[in-house]
Amino acid sequence: MAIKFRGVDFLEFDSLLTDEERLVRDTTRKFIEDNLIPIIEECNRAGRFPKELVKPMADLGLYGASLKGYGCAGMSNVEYGLVMQELERGDSGVRSFVSVHSSLAMYPIYAFGSDEQKQTWLPVMQKGEKIGCFGLTEPDFGSNPGGMRTRAKKSGKEYILNGEKMWITSGSIADVAIIWAKAEDEDNNIRGFLIETDRPGFRAEDIHGKWSLRASVTSSLSLQDVRIPESNLLPKTGGLKSPLMCLSQARYGIGWGAIGAAMACYDCALQYSLFRKQFRDQPIASHQLVQEKLTWMISEITKAQLLALQVGRLKDKDKARPQHISMSKRNNVWMALECARMARDILGANGIADEYPVFRHMANLESVKTYEGTHDIHTLIIGQSVTGIDAF
Ligand code: TGC
Ligand code: FAD
């Protein structure tokens, strides 16, 4: 049975959006429907990132969309969030690619870079001609990145970097890596460095055997005596706060993106339940237990939309705090994963087949729950904010 996405709006959510916001959302939705939906199951099966969409997404203005200047679209945070929702309705891996390129590679150059670095990198990254990645996590330091071992040593007018990064989205397809390292000459202060990935000593190897985010490239990075000019240091970085500021941008987008995945699962389950008949030739939607699941899903999606929108409106006024963004990321990813599991259940045996998008979303969301700060790390961030007590 072919199921076509119809959009999800229980509580006139659209009436809370401006015409411009709806236009951005609808344009991205159409792009995903026309270009990603027809190929995504094949990409997922093959473990292939749809690289052919990199340029068309640039033409649509999706890279660095909330940045101003350098050819970027200058969208509001709400518009950017709606873009993320639509991308992740297609696939979390494609949203990941855009999130990392925009929020974790372009944003640090924009926020912490010199004028020359911005002029060199941002216009070509906006056009999708150069791809970025973000190396914070290491094999022994995930939730606690402050413990990182990667080091940058000053040698004349150069830095020499050594270390290992792990689980890096787009690592092997990136032209530039934003690498976070402890600067030995600054008492191990954490700084950000721009590393062109063709420099001697830089190696990226893909991680295979993933059951999740199969349409996204995930790599490990090795830096062995990688020499860069001192002008590749991002001058305004200083301390763990700098990469965490980038994470705030990306986590904000995930708070919206997860809604897209949940909408895809809910809408698929609803349509399936009206079509599929069991017992007395009645659609399974007529059984109370199935209705209870659909009710849970639409209620939680609606609450998640309102949460994401309020955080977006605050962000547009520069009032969103990290704990607000943590609440949106934590709640909305959890909600989406629960929706995906319930939708899988409603589809019965068909729920495990890639004729439907549900299992793929469910498997993807397991990663989304872990990356950008695990569910439990965000629990502790919110806990710290309300109690004042650090429980990490
Ligand atoms: P802590 O002492 O709490 O903080 C250090 C400084 O940073 C400030 N800060 C933030 N600033 C901006 N945004 C945030 N979200 C911030 N969180 C904290 C903080 O105020 C402090 O400032 P200052 O001025 O006092 O120095 O640092 P900690 O070492 O105790 O760590 C806190 C903790 C555990 C919350 C942090 O380490 C953390 O968030 N861990 C999770 C790591 C993580 O999220 N990694 C993600 C890697 S990238 C990724 O996953 C990409 S996935 C692909 C995709 O996006 O699709
Ligand atoms: P750990 O930190 O080892 O955590 C394991 C478990 O312990 C979790 O349940 C966690 O919540 C729990 N835990 C840890 N500390 C505490 C505590 N204090 N209290 C209670 N529970 C705790 N990283 C990048 O830098 N760049 C990327 O582009 C990137 N892309 C990724 C793409 C994918 C597909 C995945 C899966 C990961 C990616 N990551 C990336 C890494 C991601 O950010 C980390 O996996 C994440 O931060 C968690 O780290 P970890 O896997 O080492 O788990």
Residue ranges of domains in the chain, CATH in brackets: 13-126 (1.10.540.10), 132-232 (2.40.110.10), 241-387 (1.20.140.10)
* Residue nearest (by alpha carbon) to ligand 2 atom 23: 137
Q: Whose CA is closest to atom 49 on ligand 2? A: 142
Ligand 2 contact, 107 CB (< 6 A): no
Cα–Cα distances in angstroms (integers) from residue 386 to residues 332, 381, 390, in the given order: 20, 9, 10
SS (H, E, C) the chain: CCCCCCCCCCCCHHHHCCHHHHHHHHHHHHHHHHHHHHHHHHHHHHCCCCHHHHHHHHHCCCCCCCCCCCCCCCCCHHHHHHHHHHHHHHCHHHHHHHHHHHHHHHHHHHHHCCHHHHHHHHHHHHCCCCCEEEECCECCECCCHHHCCCEEEEECCEEEEEEEEEEEECHHHCCEEEEEEEEHHHCCEEEEEEEECCCCCEEEEECCCCCCCCCCCEEEEEEEEEEEEHHHECCCCCCCHHHHHHHHHHHHHHHHHHHHHHHHHHHHHHHHHHHCECCCCCEHHHCHHHHHHHHHHHHHHHHHHHHHHHHHHHHHCCCCCHHHHHHHHHHHHHHHHHHHHHHHHHCHHHHHCCCCCHHHHHHHHHHHHHCCCCHHHHHHHHHHHHHCCCCC
- Of the candidates 28, 33, 31, 27, which has an alpha carbon nearest to the alpha carbon of residue 6? 33
Alpha helices in 4-129 (DSSP H): 19-31, 37-46, 54-59, 77-90, 92-99, 107-112, 115-126
For ligand 2, is residue 71 a contact (CB within 6 Å)?
A: no
Ligand with minimal distance to 220 CA: 2
Residue 166: per-residue pLDDT: 98
Low-confidence ranges of the chain (pLDDT < 50): none
If you take atom 46 of ligand 1, which residue's CA is the nearest one? Answer: 372
Instruction: Provide the pLDDT for residue 279.
Output: 97
pLDDT of residue 1: 72
Say whether 225 sits in a helix, a strand or coil: strand
243 C-alpha to center of ligand 1: Å?
7
Q: Does the beta carbon of 180 lie inside 6 Å of ligand 2?
A: no
Ligand nearest to C-alpha 178: 2
- Say if strands 158-169 and 151-155 run parallel, antiparallel, or are unpaired: antiparallel
d(CA 222, CA 312): 36
- Which residue's C-alpha comes closest to atom 33 of ligand 2? 167
pLDDT value of residue 2: 79
Distance 54 CA to ligand 1 centre (A): 29
Strand partners, 194: 178
- Rounded Cα distance between 338 and 363, Å, is 12
- CA nearest 107: which of 218, 16, 242, 15? 242
Q: Whose CA is nearest to atom 20 of ligand 1?
A: 241
**Ligand 2 centroid vs 272 CA: distance in angstroms?**
35
pLDDT value at residue 369: 98
Q: Using a 6 Å cutoff on CB, does residue 258 contact ligand 1? A: no
**Would you call 372 a catalytic residue per the annotation?**
yes
β-sheet bridge partners, residue 141: 138
Q: Which atom of ligand 1 is nearest to the CA of 322?
A: 15
Instruction: Say if ligand 1 is within 6 A of residue 10 CB.
Output: no
pLDDT tens readout for residues 94-132: 999 999 999 999 999 999 999 999 999 999 999 999 999
What pLDDT does 251 receive?
98
Ligand 2 atom nearest residue 216's Cα: 34
Give the Å distance between the CA of 377 and the centre of ligand 2. Answer: 9
User: Does residue 392 line the site of ligand 1, with CB under 6 A?
Assistant: yes
Ligand 1 centre to CA of 244 (Å) is: 4
CB contact at 8 A, 210 and 43:
no
**What separation in Å is there between the alpha carbon of 245 and the centre of ligand 1?**
7
- The finding on whether 93 has its CB within 6 A of some atom of ligand 1 is no
Ligand 1 pocket check: which of 87, 91, 167, 244 to mutate, most ligand atoms within 8 Å of Cβ?
Answer: 244
Say yes or no: CB of residue 367 within 6 Å of ligand 2. yes
CB 244 near ligand 1, within 6 Å: yes
Ligand 1 nearest atom to the CA of residue 247, by list position: 15
Q: pLDDT at position 216, please?
A: 98
